[in-house]
Amino acid sequence: MTENDFEKIGQDILEVIQKSKNILLHLHPSPDPDSVGSALVMAEVLKGLGKEVVIIAGDSPLPMSLSFLPNFNWIKDEGWTDLDLNDFDLLIAQDSGSLEMVSREINIKENSDLKIVVIDHHATNTLYGDINLVVEAPATTQVLFKLISLWGVEISQTIAVNMFVGLYADTGGFKYDYTQPETLAIAGQLIAKNHEALKTVRTMQMQNTPKSLDYKMLAYKNINICAGGRAAVSAISFGDLEDKKINTEDTESVSLGNDLLSVAQWQVIATLVEKKSGEIKVSLRSKNGELYNVAEIAQIFGGGGHKAAAGAKLEVSLEEALEKVIMAIENIF
Ligand SMILES: [Mn+2]
């Protein structure tokens, strides 16, 4: 996207916001720090513009492992069916590459005439909004930094923290290849605004529960090595999660993908987690997305994401999912 296009779309979004009174924000299913950070940043900006704002947790429970973020209590523990979409003038859908990433429970377009503004950084974004600001950036909070700078909004101390955690998390702590010089420049400005942002990311990395380690143990116990030892797929069954009484709060702080990718020989890894019986969440990671593009694999299963990090959902048995994912991975080697 050219600078001109960015400015044009950015101004269009501001105009729509100015015309709206009640604005709805949401977290995407299995919300990550970029989703939560983006929602809290946008909410603060909108409140500053005198708007009524509601943030709902959406499909997933409130991500309590991020409850230390400033203004976290603004997020209502409500799903999409708990509210009347007609009460709102505008939905700003952030960090969500498709309607399914906004909600898998309802189809927002079929259930309302709500105007939708999309602000996102996923290359596979389906442009489902009335206005779409989809920018190649490592995190939605990076897009927001540019956007609110364009609007002339000052970065507050709380905005700085919520933006920083989004940048930090989506770049794996500024390690992933798609981290841009601009990402670090923005991170520097955020730290200059509020040095506490560093403490916040440390806090973020210490949110395991004792059962988080049981969860990791299950992942490590159920590894299938494939592609001649260059890839690995871990599969965790619903039964095992039930037996160990592992809940969302135990899993949301754990990045199995990063743990498995720490094995030097494995170029690609996948984790299959049977969240409910017959419903498999597939996460894929690649050490080198140019060489082994896992977004292509995710797309086979109706998912999406980035070349080095992608995901999908399968509604089959765990055994069948495992077989299919292994086959798809072996095909790209
Ligand atoms: Mn993101």
- The answer to whether residues 141 and 167 touch, using CB atoms and an 8 Å cutoff, is yes
CA of 32 to the centre of ligand 1 (A): 7
CA of 34 to the centre of ligand 1 (A): 5
* DSSP calls for 106-139: --HHHH---EEEEEE--TT----SSEEEE---S-
Give me the pLDDT at residue 220, please: 98
CA of 329 to the centre of ligand 1 (A): 24
Give the pLDDT band of residue 306 (cuts 50, 70, 90): confident
CA of 61 to the centre of ligand 1 (A): 18
CA of 316 to the centre of ligand 1 (A): 27
All domains of the chain in start order, with CATH: 3-204 (3.90.1640.10), 210-331 (3.10.310.30)
Give the pLDDT band of residue 215 (cuts 50, 70, 90): very high
Distance CA 275, CA 245 (A): 12
Give me the pLDDT at residue 21, please: 97
CA of 180 to the centre of ligand 1 (A): 15
283 pairs with which residues across the strands?
271, 311
Is the whole model's pTM more than 0.85, yes or no? no
**At residue 176, does pLDDT exceed 90?**
no
What are the distances in angstroms from CA 59 to CA 22, 69, 174, 178, 208?
Answer: 21, 20, 29, 28, 22
CA of 121 to the centre of ligand 1 (A): 7
CA of 237 to the centre of ligand 1 (A): 27
**At residue 314, does pLDDT exceed 90?**
yes
CA of 82 to the centre of ligand 1 (A): 25
- At 27-58, the pLDDT tens digits run 999 999 999 999 999 999 999 999 999 999 99
Give the pLDDT band of residue 248 (cuts 50, 70, 90): confident
Query: Chain-wide mean pLDDT for the chain?
Result: 96
Give the pLDDT band of residue 123 (cuts 50, 70, 90): confident
- The answer to whether residues 86 and 57 touch, using CB atoms and an 8 Å cutoff, is no
Give me the pLDDT at residue 305, please: 86
CA of 11 to the centre of ligand 1 (A): 22
CA of 141 to the centre of ligand 1 (A): 8
What are the distances in angstroms from CA 189 to CA 155, 210, 288?
Answer: 9, 36, 29
- At 141-151, the pLDDT tens digits run 999 999 999 99
What's the mean pLDDT in 266-279?
Answer: 95
CB atoms within 10 A of CB 156: 16
Tokens of 25: 């924000």
CA of 133 to the centre of ligand 1 (A): 14
CA of 243 to the centre of ligand 1 (A): 32
